[in-house]
Amino acid sequence: MVFGFGKSAKHREIDAVALHEMILADKALVVDVRETDEFAAGHIPGAINMPLSSFNADQISDPLDRVVVLSCLGGKRSGMALDKCRSAGSVVDTHLAGGFGAWKSAGLPIER
């Protein structure tokens, strides 16, 4: 088994339960990088949609002292978006481990 395959060492991950707690405490801003139709079908409450196909790290709104956490369906696209953030010199370095799939599996609330 190759550890870290397909992941950058610079990508921080947070699990769904910890992210939910951060959202409830107003400590996280979730940016969902799935396409608009996927986002419309269900997303983390309060998340903003910035599809990877047109993702620009400079367009992430001011998180107002919250941690920006990127999310997609399973973690691959949010990792790609984190690479774009790093290339742009952004401080955004965290994504949801397992993505929206992990959020749903944890039984956490979904907004449509």
Active-site residue list: 72
Sign of CA dihedral 92, 84, 56, 106: negative
Q: Which two structure tokens, joined as six digits, stand for 109?
A: 């609330």
How far CA 48 is from CA of 22, 40, 57, in Å, comes to 16, 11, 13
Q: Helix, strand, or coil here: 95?
A: strand
